[in-house]
Amino acid sequence: MSAPYVNGSSVWPLRCSASEPVQIVSGDVREKLALLPDETVHCCVTSPPYWGMRDYGYSGQIGAEETIDEYVANLVSCFRDVRRVLRSDGTFWLNIANTYTSGGRGWRDKDAKNQGRAMSYRPDTPAGLKPKDLIGVAWMLAMAMQRDGWYLRSDIIWYKPNCQPESVKDRVTVSHEYLFMFSKSESYYFDQQAIKEPTADGKGSKNKRTVWQVNTEPCKEAHFAAFPRALVRPCILAGSPKGGLILDPFLGSGTVGIVAIETGRRCLGIEVKPDYVDIAKQRLLGASPQLFMECL
Ligand SMILES: C[S@@+](CC[C@H](N)C(=O)[O-])C[C@H]1O[C@@H](n2cnc3c(N)ncnc32)[C@H](O)[C@@H]1O
């Protein structure tokens, strides 16, 4: 069996197939997504760069905008193109977290467990906010997306029992992020049965709830937090049929591609950093392509 991915910089025509279910496209999402025809993908699952949280080390990077308004506008514009390439019955699952103002610190040191936390820049406290304020950037983005035409269908809380400890003494430790589910149309593909959860007595099943308890998953190859497969799996199972095409415009270490393989879907992933493309390729080699074959 060959590697479960095809890799290059061309987007169209699609090259992913049953034997090579993941297509990795190296480049900037703002250029690459534009090359994809309308209504091509069943479902999009992604986690974009958070505002002022990571330094991905290239100029014009999303997440390094001087103001939150610019950041939100950049993502809304990028996700407008996601809406264009999504089928009319498609859904978009967006993982994002709120952040705090930097309190006037212009940089941040790496820490032993997470080298990727090092930042050569930190944005100033946004106008209208104070040092130490919680920035509700996740909801700002969700509201802006809604205004842009998306149907905002669910705000799912990703509760992380093993969240990063914080040294704060005057507030509680953040242990959750958001997963917003958007649709392109009023009615859309949603396989409710595929993600039902057990009832409390374990004898039956019920509709999945909006708080998902999922531990973060260590990724030995990556210096940033890859999202866990268990967070992505329900999105893909509910949001696409077997064999369907999943898009991750910020592929990072390839988690969405891995879950696509494990659940019998195909994945188109875009990633700007060559180092991360290499990490994604390594991780994809460890996924189980035979599951995909069985599902077809
Ligand atoms: C939060 S990480 C995604 C992590 C991913 N969910 C995983 O499990 O590994 C965001 C990713 O977006 C990539 N990225 C940032 N700006 C980009 C752009 N303009 N085009 C494509 N990828 C970009 C970063 O290099 C990073 O890998």
Ligand 1 pocket, 221 CB below 6 A?
no
Residue 193 Cα distances to 88, 205, 235, 246, angstroms: 21, 9, 13, 19
Q: What is the pLDDT of residue 295?
A: 43
Instruction: State the average pLDDT over residues 44-54.
Output: 90
User: Residue 195: its pLDDT value, please?
Assistant: 97
| Token pair for 107 | 């940089």
For residue 238, the CA-to-ligand 1 centroid distance in Å is 23
Give the pLDDT band of residue 52 (cuts 50, 70, 90): confident
The pLDDT value recorded for residue 294 is 46
Q: What is the mean pLDDT of the chain?
A: 90
In this predicted model, what pLDDT tens digit does every residue of 104-120 receive, in sequence order? 555 555 555 555 555 56
Distance (angstroms) between ligand 1 centre and the Cα of 47 equals 7
The H or E element spanning position 178 is: strand 176-183
pLDDT per residue as tens digits for the range 186-226: 999 999 999 999 999 999 999 999 999 999 988 777 656 79
Helices (H) and strands (E) in the chain, counts: 7, 13
Q: Tell me the domains of the chain and their CATH numbers.
A: 5-295 (3.40.50.150)
Q: Per residue in 228-258, pLDDT tens?
A: 999 999 999 999 999 999 999 999 999 999 9
Confidence band of 261 (pLDDT split at 50, 70, 90): very high
For ligand 1, the distance from its centroid to the CA atom of residue 278, given in whole angstroms, is: 13
Q: How confident is the model at residue 55 (pLDDT cuts 50, 70, 90)?
A: confident
Q: Is the pLDDT of residue 138 over 60?
A: yes
- Calculate the dihedral angle through the C-alpha atoms of 277, 279, 281, 283, rounding to the nearest 10 degrees: -150
What pLDDT, on a 0 to 100 scale, did the predictor assign at position 106?
Answer: 56
As a whole number, mean pLDDT of residues 54-66 equals 80
pLDDT for position 134: 95
Q: Per-residue pLDDT for 293 more than 50? A: no
- Tens of pLDDT along 79-101? 999 999 999 999 999 999 999 88
Share of the chain above pLDDT 90, in %: 76
Q: Is the pLDDT of residue 176 over 70?
A: yes
Is there an atom of ligand 1 within 6 Å of 276 CB? yes
Q: What is the band of 269 on the pLDDT scale with cuts at 50, 70, 90?
A: very high
- Residue 55 in contact with ligand 1 by CB distance below 6 A: no
Instruction: Decide if pLDDT at 103 tops 70.
Output: no
Q: Is the pTM of this model over 0.85?
A: yes
CB 28 near ligand 1, within 6 Å? yes
Å from CA of 228 to ligand 1 middle: 15
**Ligand 1 centre distance from Cα of residue 171 (Å):** 30
Best mutation site among 82, 272, 275, 282 for ligand 1, i.e. most ligand atoms within 8 A of its Cβ? Answer: 272
Residue ID of nearest Cα to ligand 1 atom 17:
272
Q: Report the range of poorest mean pLDDT among 4-8, 49-53, 55-59, 149-153.
A: 55-59
Other C-beta atoms closer than 10 Å to the C-beta of 210 total 10
Average pLDDT over residues 138-161: 98
- pLDDT at site 102: 73
CA neighbor of 247 nearest in space, from 97, 69, 32: 32
Query: d(Cα 194, Cα 98) in Å, to the nearest integer?
Result: 29
pLDDT of residue 259: 96
**Is residue 44 a contact partner of residue 90, using CB atoms and an 8 Å limit?**
yes
**Ligand 1 midpoint to CA 140 (Å):** 20
